[in-house]
Structure 1
Amino acid sequence: MMDGLVTTREGAVVIVRLARPPHNFFDAALLAGLADVLAANDADPSVRVTLLAAEGRSFCAGADFRRAAAGIEGARAVYAQAARLFARAKPLIAAVGGPAVGGGLGLALAADFRVASHAARFHANFAAIGLHPGFAITATLPALVGAQRARDLLTTARRVGGEEAATIGLADRLAPAEALDKVALALARDIAANAPLALAAIARALPRINAATAAAAMAAELDEQAALFATADFREGVRATSERRPPVFEGR
């Protein structure tokens, strides 16, 4: 166990749980710990698959800049660690049983597969708070659902439930809430039962957002976010969210 992460083992599957309930906000340190686990799993021939799950009500509600530098410096530190997640060699499955919001959506999309429960909510909320998308979502989301549907989700900032996520390609499996862990672990075991060299060859052959692509996407996202962090609309978006009211944006 490390700060915000609990790791267990089920045969050839390593299960990592986000353990900052109820919402599992991340910071750079938590992402660094997760990247370290993935690197260790890559180096261990007895590990075939990593399963990322979560405690609490949310899968992950995004970044918690209260634990680090706020604004652009906080985002830069987070993205430096987030880029490491895309450097893994072995399959990563995310079990999403609640809201995956903002950067939490980015974390879910960084996985190779997503198993969603009916209670899952995939929410690219950036425009709703006056901010540009981050966590390489500008690369991962269109790769999964297509450019036009990604444009829809990013510009409307609407929530996508588990059933719709499975329909449009955000989720690969749909499970009842009470069976989410079981279904996700079954997928992990199905993958882990296959030949590791063949799995590695398949991973190399198929299109995938790798570390370099993710880092480039986050660098471009960071430039846009740097400008928007300084706007009155962003301050209003954050304030409105905390006050649970509709924002009043003025385009400045």
Structure 2
Amino acid sequence: MDDGIALLEIQRPPANHFDEALIGRIVDAAFTLDDDPACRVILLGSEGRHFCAGADFGGGDFAADHVAAAERLYRRAVQLFDVRTPIVAAVQGTAVGGGLGLACAADFRVAEPATRFMANFAKLGFHQGFGLSVTLPELIGRQKATDLMLTARRVGGEEAYRIGLADRLAEPGMVRATARALACEIAASAPLAIRSMRATLRGDLAERVRRALDHELAEQKVHWATRDAAEGIAASLARRTPVFTGS
């Protein structure tokens, strides 16, 4: 904590994959900060080259059992939307899949030209998750969100800033500093008013995300049993182009 800004940093470089335990620690820390009058803004960052590559399908809980791991993860992830303190995400490197979902759970995203955002679910062979069905269209509109979802293409920092996925575009190497500067601007305002205004603007976002997560997980359960999902995940791990058959 420094000047009313609390840094929450993921420390699993280089890819900073998450699981239920990591998301749970972020949620618990954020709830604790909600009750700390000294905290006015949360700065969410990651150690190393990349912000977050989402779930690790090559190891850990997700490799062992996609469904059980996702159920545990989503029970915790949805709680991010109940956090009352504004969150600024400093997004360096890549934010991919669930990592994009984590970035979109923040109030603001700060990127640099080299940052890459990617909703890669279609290339993995299964439905999007982490509440992106709600958060991504909220940020960039339904049409652009559909584009990014169905093509699974990478979006660089400059395009992300242009379409509203990133709120600030930092100079190269200045993502964390620029994110902190934005956090300082927010922290300088009246904290009670900030929380009240934020709650009004978000409305029923948390409940909409809860409903979306239920649907996303139901669709993912179906897709994870298909050959296409097995092929998409295997191709991603092998860094090759997947060949889908629609089965």
TM-score norm. by structure 2 comes to 0.96
Q: Deviations over 1:23-55 (max 9, x none)?
A: 000000000000011101100011000000111
Q: Which runs of 5+ in 1 are unaligned?
A: 1-8
Aligned to 1:59: 51
Query: Offset of 1:214 from its aligned partner?
Result: 1.5
- Structure 1 residue 173 and structure 2 residue 168: aligned? yes
What is the 5 A alignment of 1:1-252?
9-64=1-56, 66-68=59-61, 69-207=64-202, 210-252=205-247
Q: Output the aligned Cα RMSD.
A: 1.1
Distance 1:250 1:215 in 2: 32
Distance 2:70 2:203 in 1: 24
Distance 1:177 1:38 in 2: 28
- SS for the counterpart of 2:126 is coil
Distance 1:241 1:205 in 2: 41
* Aligned residue type for 1:197: L
Distance 1:27 1:209 in 2: 26
Aligned to 1:5: none
* Aligned residue type for 1:67: G
Is the alpha carbon distance of 1:23 and 1:209 closer, same or farther for their aligned partners in structure 2, counting shifts above 3 Å? farther
Distance 1:109 1:218 in 2: 14
Runs ≥4 residues deviating over 3 A: 207-210
Q: Percent identity?
A: 50
Aligned to 1:4: none
Query: Offset of 1:177 from its aligned partner?
Result: 2.7
Query: Offset of 1:207 from its aligned partner?
Result: 3.4
Distance 2:16 2:24 in 1: 15
Query: Offset of 1:204 from its aligned partner?
Result: 2.2
Distance 1:51 1:178 in 2: 17
- SS for the counterpart of 2:194 is helix
- Equivalent residues, number: 244
Kindly indicate whether the alpha-carbon contact (under 8 Å) linking 1:76 and 1:222 is maintained by their aligned counterparts in 2: yes
* Aligned residue type for 2:180: L
* Aligned residue type for 2:34: D
